[in-house]
Amino acid sequence: MSIYYYLSAFLFCLGLIGTILKKDLISMLLCIELMLGGVALLFILFSKSTGFIDSQLMVIFMMIISACEVAIGLSLIIALYRNKQTIYTDEIKIITE
Amino acid sequence: MEFASFIVFFVIACTLGGVLLGISSLLGQKRKIVRKNDVYESGVNAVGSATRQYDVKFYLTAILFLLFDVEIVFLLPWAMTFNQASNQAFLLKGFIFFMVILLVGYIFVINSKALKWDE
Amino acid sequence: MGVDILLTILTVVFALMVVFSKKTVVSAFALLMTLLCLAMIYFQLGTVFLSAVQVLVNAGAIAILFVFVMMLIDLEQFPNNRERNKIKLVISIFTILIIMGVLALIINNNIDTLTVINLSDNSMKALFEKLYNTYYLPFEMATVLLLAAIVACVVITNHRKDDDSDNEGADKGVHP
Amino acid sequence: MLESAIEILLKTIVILALPLGALPLIIHVERRGAAFMQKRLGPNRVGPFGLLQPLADVAKFMFKEEVHPTHVKPFFYVAAPLVALVVAILPLACIPIAAPFELFGRTIFPEVFRTDMGIFYAFAVSALGSYGILLAGWASNNKYSMLGALRACAQMVSYELSLSTSVVAMIFLYGTNDIHQMIGAQTGYWFGFLPKWGVFIQPVAAMLFLVGIFAESNRLPFDLAEGESEIVAGYHLEYSSMKFALFFMAEYIHMIALSALFIILFFGGYALLPGMSFLAEKSPILLVALQALSLITKIALMIWFFVWVRWTLPRFRYDQLMTLGWERLLPLGIANLIITVLFVYYRN
C-alpha cells in the first residue's frame, strides 16, 4: 500500500521532467497528464488513509479540469500547426501574426 | 475479492486471445510471396503514405464528445442520489442550472456548424 | 501485497515509455496504459466509482483525443527526440531531486500514521451527497468551465479559411 | 480461501464459455437468417442443417496463412486484435445470469465480480472498444484502414453520448446503479399481465439505447467503418487468418454484451419470462436455471433482431449518420431526461 505513495511522487516527477525537456507540444501535454495522474493517486491515498472523503471529490474536479485543459491545449496545437506547420516550442517565436 | 475476480477474469481473457493467435501462427501455412505483403490499395500500386492529414472534423467530434461526456458522467451520480435525497428541491435547481449550461453549449455547437459533414 | 508491486511496476514502465519513447504515438498509447493501470489501482483501493470515471473520461476520451491529433498532424516529420538543452536538463534534474527529497522526508515521517481506513459501503452515497450539496457551487462552476472549453475549442478549431491552400491533401472522409 | 478461488475460477469459465460457445451458433443463425430473408438456402451441407459449418470455418481460420505485411507497425499490428477481443469480453464480467442463490451454504452471486457500480463499470469498459479499432487502423498503415478506423471511432463516440443519456434516465428512475436491484425493480407485473419492464416506462430511452448499440457494435445500418463500396473493409483490411477472426469475434461478443446491458436496463434482465413463474416455485435450483434460461432467451431474441435489421435497412451515408447522432438523438435524449426528472419531481 505504501508503495503507491512513492509511485505517485515518481509519476509527478517524471511528468515534470518530461514537460521541461520535451520540445514538441503534444509530448508536453502527455507529460502534464502524467503529473495529473500522480496527483490524483495521491488524493485518493490520502482520502483512504485519513477517512476524509472530500479529497476523492478533488479527484473528480481534477478530471473535469484536465479534460478542459487537454481539449483546449490540443485545439491550440491544431490551430498552431495550421498556421505555422510546426509543433516545436522553440520554433514558435511569436503567437500573433 | 472483487479485485481478485477482476484480475483473474482479465488474465484469462488475455490468455484466450493469445492462445488463439498462437494457434493460428503455429498451424497456419507459411509462404513467402513478396507481392502479398504490399499495401492493399484496390490492386494498384500504393500512392503516398497512410499518415497524411485527415479532416479536422474527426478531431472536433472527439473533442466535443470528451466535453459532453464529462458532463453526462457527472449526471450519473446525481441520478443515483436524487431519489433518496432529502433536499430534492435543491438538487433539482442544481440539475436545471446544469442542464441550461449544457444546452447553451449544445446550441452553440449546432449553430457553429462544427459538426456539419455535408458541405 | 504482490498485486501492489506488480501494478506499480507496470505503471512505472508505461510512464517511462511515455517520457522516453521515440515516437509520439507510442507515447500516447503508453499514456493510455498508464491511465488504465492507475484505474486498476483505484479499483484495488476500493474507489470503484473513481476508477470507472478514470477509464471513461481519462483513458476513454482524453487518450482518444491524443491519438486523433496524432493522426491529424503528420508526426513522421516531428520526432520528439530533438537535441536537448543542457542547462534545462541540469535544472530539471535538480528540481526533481529536491522534490523527491522533500516527498521522501514527508512520507518516511508519516508512513506509520498512514494506515488504511476502510470506508463504509455507503461511502459512495456520502460522496455524491457531498458533491451535490457542500460542493454545489464548485460543481456548477466546473460545468461553466466545460461550457467555456466547448466554445473555445469550436472557435479555435473550426474557423474556415477562404483559401484552401493549407488544407491541401485533407481528406474529407465523406462519400461525395 | 480455496473455496473462493474455485468459485472465482468457475464463474469466470462459465461467463466466458457461454458467449464464446454461442458464437458459432450466432454466426450460423446470421448466415441462415440472411439466406432466409433473401430466399436462398444458406450453408446447409456440413452436418445437419449446416450446423457444423461454423466449426469448419474455425478450423479453416486456424490453418489459413497469416499474411504479415511489411509496411505495418509490427507490435501494434499484432496487439490490435487482442485488444479488441479483450475489451469486448471485459463488460461481460459484471452481467449476472441469475439472482444470487445459496449453494453449499455459500451465497453465490452469478457474475464474475459484484460491485454496486455494475452498469457504470460496463459502460466505462465498453467505451474502450474504439481502441482496438483505432490501433488496427493506425498499425495497418493503409489509407483505407486509417479512414475506416477514424470513421468508426467518430461514430462510436457520437452515439455513446445519446446512449449515456438514456442510461442516466434509467438510473434516475431505478435510483440505483446495482444490477440486481435494477432487475429486482423490474420483477412482477402491472395489472397482472404486463411485465414491469423498463421499456414500458421509458420507451424513448429504450429506442435511444437500441440505436446506440447498433452504432457501438458497428452493425448495419451503422457499419460505415467497413463500408465495402468506399473503403473496402475498413480497419481490418490488412488482417488475415486468426487475427481477422479475433476482430470478428470481438464484434459479436461486443454485440452480446451490449444486448445483455440493454436487456438488464429495459427488459428485466434475468427476471422470468411471463408464464414461467409457476414452474419456478418447485425448487430454488430450478429457479436459477429458469432465470438463466430467460436471460439467454432474451439475448437470443436480441441477436435475431440484429440479424433482421441487418438484412432490412440499407447503410447510412456518413453525414446522415453524424446528423442523426448529434442533431436528432442527443437532443432527444436530453429532452427525455429533463422531462423524466421533472415528471418524477412533481409527482412526489
Structure confidence by residue, pLDDT tens digits, B33-63: 777 777 777 667 776 666 666 777 888 888 8
Q: What is the largest CA-CA distance in chain A?
A: 53
Mean of per-residue pLDDT scores for chain D = 84
- Distance from the A94 Cα atom to the nearest Cα atom in chain C, whole angstroms: 17
Question: B5 contacts in D (CB within 8 Å)?
Answer: 8, 11-12, 93, 112-113
Q: Are D152 and D158 spatial neighbours (Cβ–Cβ below 8 Å)?
A: no
In terms of Cα–Cα distance, which of D36, D87, D81 is closest to D311?
D36
In terms of Cα–Cα distance, which of C22, B73, C15, C67 is closest to A74?
C67
Question: Over its length of 97 residues, how does chain A's per-residue pLDDT go in tens digits?
Answer: 678 888 888 888 888 888 888 888 888 888 999 999 999 998 888 888 777 788 888 898 898 899 899 889 888 888 888 777 777 777 776 655 5
B70:A75 CB<8 A = no
CA distances, D241 to each of D64, D185, D284 (Å)? 5, 46, 45
Q: Domain range spanning residue A41? A: 3-91
In terms of Cα–Cα distance, which of D75, D149, D88, D134 is closest to B17?
D88
Q: Are C146 and A64 spatial neighbours (Cβ–Cβ below 8 Å)?
A: yes
The number of CA neighbours under 13 Å toward the Cβ of B115 is 27
Q: Which of C104-113, D192-201, D241-250 has the least mean pLDDT?
A: C104-113
Answer yes or no: is pLDDT of B78 > 80.
Answer: yes
Torsion of CA D282, D288, D293, D296, to 10 degrees: 160
Whether A39 maps to a domain, the answer reads: yes
C-alpha cell at C116: 488504511
Give the pLDDT band of residue C34 (cuts 50, 70, 90): very high
Answer whether D317 touches C (CB < 8 Å). yes
Give the pLDDT band of residue D270 (cuts 50, 70, 90): confident
Bridge partners of C30, per DSSP, are none
Q: Do the chains B and A touch each other, judged by at least 3 C-beta pairs below 8 angstroms?
A: yes
B94:C44 CB<8 A = no
- For chain D, give every domain's residue range: 64-347
Distance CA C41, CA C63 (A): 18
Bridge partners of B56, per DSSP, are none
B114:C158 CB<8 A = yes
Answer whether A3 touches B (CB < 8 Å). no
Distance CA D79, CA D67 (A): 15
CA distances, C131 to each of B74, C26, C140, D143, D178 (Å)? 10, 37, 10, 46, 20
Partners of chain B (3+ Cβ pairs below 8 A): A, C, D
Question: What is the pLDDT, as a whole number, of residue C169?
Answer: 44
* Domain tally, chain A: 1
Task: Please write the tens of the pLDDT for every residue from D186-218.
Answer: 887 877 777 888 888 888 999 999 998 888 888
Preceding amide of D221 cis, omega within 30: yes
C-alpha cell at B62: 472527439
B66:A70 CB<8 A = yes
C115:A49 CB<8 A = yes
Q: Which of B68, B84, B110 sits opposite D175 (nearest CB)?
A: B84
Q: Which of C25, C68, C175 sits opposite D318 (nearest CB)?
A: C175
Total number of residues shown for chain D? 348
Question: C67 contacts in D (CB within 8 Å)?
Answer: 134, 138
Q: Give the distance, in angstroms, between the CA of residue D346 and the centroid of all CA atoms in the same chain.
A: 35
Q: Which helix (H) or strand (E) holds B34?
A: none
In terms of Cα–Cα distance, which of D127, D201, D140 is closest to D166?
D201
- Distance from the C49 Cα atom to the nearest Cα atom in chain D, whole angstroms: 7
Total number of residues shown for chain B? 119
Bridge partners of D194, per DSSP, are D190
Distance CA D120, CA C95 (A): 40
Distance CA D115, CA B65 (A): 27
Q: Are D330 and D57 spatial neighbours (Cβ–Cβ below 8 Å)?
A: no
Question: What is the pLDDT, as a whole number, of residue B115?
Answer: 75
Answer whether A50 touches B (CB < 8 Å). no
Number of Cβ within 10 Å of residue D338's Cβ equals 17
Tell the residue number behind the cell numbers 475549442, with chain if given. C153
C-alpha cell at A47: 482520502
The one-letter amino acid at D310: R
Question: B14 contacts in D (CB within 8 Å)?
Answer: 82, 86
Question: D346 contacts in B (CB within 8 Å)?
Answer: none
- State the Cα angle at D209 between C67 and D243, rounded to 5°: 45
- Distance from the A78 Cα atom to the nearest Cα atom in chain B, whole angstroms: 9
B58:D319 CB<8 A = no
Q: Which of A12, A49, A72 sits opposite C114 (nearest CB)?
A: A49
Give the pLDDT band of residue C14 (cuts 50, 70, 90): very high
In terms of Cα–Cα distance, which of B37, D198, D116, A49 is closest to C111?
A49
Distance CA A20, CA C90 (A): 11
Q: Which of B59, B66, B98 sits opposite C140 (nearest CB)?
A: B98
Question: What is the pLDDT, as a whole number, of residue D161?
Answer: 87
Fold of C2-118: Four Helix Bundle (Hemerythrin (Met), subunit A) (1.20.120)
Mean of per-residue pLDDT scores for chain B = 81
D127:C32 CB<8 A = no
Mean of per-residue pLDDT scores for chain A = 83
Domain B2-111 architecture: Up-down Bundle (1.20)
- Distance from the B33 Cα atom to the nearest Cα atom in chain A, whole angstroms: 39
